[in-house]
Structure 1
Amino acid sequence: MSVCRVLVLISGNGSNLQAIIDHAQPKASFEVVGVISNKTDAYGLVRAREADINCTCVIATPGENRAAYDDRLRAAIDSYQPDLLVLAGFMRILSDDLVTAYQGRMINVHPSLLPKFTGLNTHQRAIDAGEQEHGASVHFVIPQLDAGPVILQAKVPVFEDDSAELLAERVHEQEHAIYPLVVKWFADNRLKMVNNQAYLDGEPLGTGGYAND
């Protein structure tokens, strides 16, 4: 079986990138072949270079519209010939055309138990809503924001005296556990998206399954 070529897109610290790199051991079924960032000062680029992974920066130019940027981004993506695109804190909304081009082989991790709390500031919103549980979701990416079929979720408790920062730390810890696992499922040909539904080993996945139940 050929090794799955994984390309990771980042904008910042790259802690999920590091978790995936750490699981891409010599005998793994996947290899991180490249990292693309939209910011030149993203610390994730340091992590990639320390692991001898090729890096590319695709920086938006003044006045550039989303379609023009995504054309350049797509050219950079295609230069790596990836089998799987992994969004790991890539802080840009992608155009429908770009997402559609890679649909079924682009995944993202979102810091909430989707469909709850799409968008930004999820940790504070969960606290403000009085939630007793919060967490992270890995999902396939579709043109609708944070609406793709959920693959795997992990839950954490929300405590009465929680801050958004403390809650974020617990959520990140779970992200680092479940994201590499989903990458491995895809690389092992166990995970697919068919008709806007995620399937593992031929069985449909729903939002009711959690990694830490």
Structure 2
Amino acid sequence: MPCKLVILISGSGSNLQAFIDAAEQGELPADIAAVISNRPAAGGLERAAQAGIATAVVDHTGFANRDDFDAALRDTIDSFAPDLVVLAGFMRILGADFVRHFRGRMLNIHPSLLPKYPGLHTHQRAIDAGDTEAGATVHFVTEELDGGPPILQAQVPVKAGDTAELLAARVLEQEHRIYPLAARWFAEGRLTLNGNQAELDDNALPPTGFPFHCVTAD
């Protein structure tokens, strides 16, 4: 049976589109079982519908607290029985119980070279710090925000005169390459979480994940 994915989104779904394209082109040996959003107006829901993928909405504004939202979201995800949950621009912090429920089978991508710049405004923070490189990191999700074991990392140069928007666009191109690849490794049974260590082919990955230099932008 192919690996079943559920993808969580909050916005337009550009990373979602990368997964759809990879699956359609045979580069991702997995079925996208559903796309779930916490925002009813998320543009990515239309992308999913156009691709014939089931969609669901769990609107966070309809819940009195985070725990109730997490429980409803967990139950909705579980109804599709996924092997892997992919956070693709999902803009809600998830509680510890939720994360533990999906431990070892939930991935996120963060637009910085973790452990640098967890949280928001990553591109501006890299520019303000005078960094010469920025990038994106795919990691397993754990209870620590943006702190789960890294899997794969792509670097891009920070250019003179860069704005946060220009740098974000350059990083996003790389996100679209590395995120489906990490999911492919998982689908092929090559990628696992062992304790608090990401392993590829039973080998521990480096502390910052696999360095995907071959897709570095010029």
| TM-score category (smaller protein) | over 0.9
Once the 2 structures are TM-superposed, how far is the Cα of residue 25 of structure 1 from its aligned partner?
2.8
Structure 1 position 34 matched with structure 2 position 13:
no
Q: Gaps spanning 5+ residues in structure 2: where?
A: none
* C-alpha distance in 2 between matches for 1:139 and 1:208: 8
1:62-101 equivalent positions in 2, closer than 5 A: 64-101=64-101
- Whichever residue aligns with residue 42 of structure 1, its letter is A
Change (3 A) 1:201 1:145: same
Instruction: Show the counterpart of 1:157.
Output: 157
* C-alpha distance in 2 between matches for 1:54 and 1:26: 19
Instruction: Show the counterpart of 2:210.
Output: 209
Q: Gaps spanning 5+ residues in structure 1: where?
A: none
Provide, for residues 142-170 of structure 1, a one-character-per-residue CA deviation record: whole Å limited to 9, x for no partner.
Answer: 01100000000000000120000000000
Structure 1 position 124 matched with structure 2 position 124:
yes
* C-alpha distance in 2 between matches for 1:56 and 1:209: 33
Change (3 A) 1:77 1:108: same
* C-alpha distance in 2 between matches for 1:135 and 1:12: 20
Moved over 3 A (4+): none
Instruction: Show the counterpart of 2:115.
Output: 115
Instruction: Show the counterpart of 1:147.
Output: 147
Structure 1 position 23 matched with structure 2 position 43:
no
Change (3 A) 1:58 1:147: same
Aligned residues: 212
Structure 1 position 5 matched with structure 2 position 8:
no
- Whichever residue aligns with residue 22 of structure 1, its letter is D
* C-alpha distance in 2 between matches for 1:29 and 1:200: 17
1:50-61 equivalent positions in 2, closer than 5 A: 50-61=50-61
Q: TM-score, normalised by structure 1?
A: 0.97
Identity of paired residues, percent?
56
Instruction: Show the counterpart of 1:14.
Output: 13
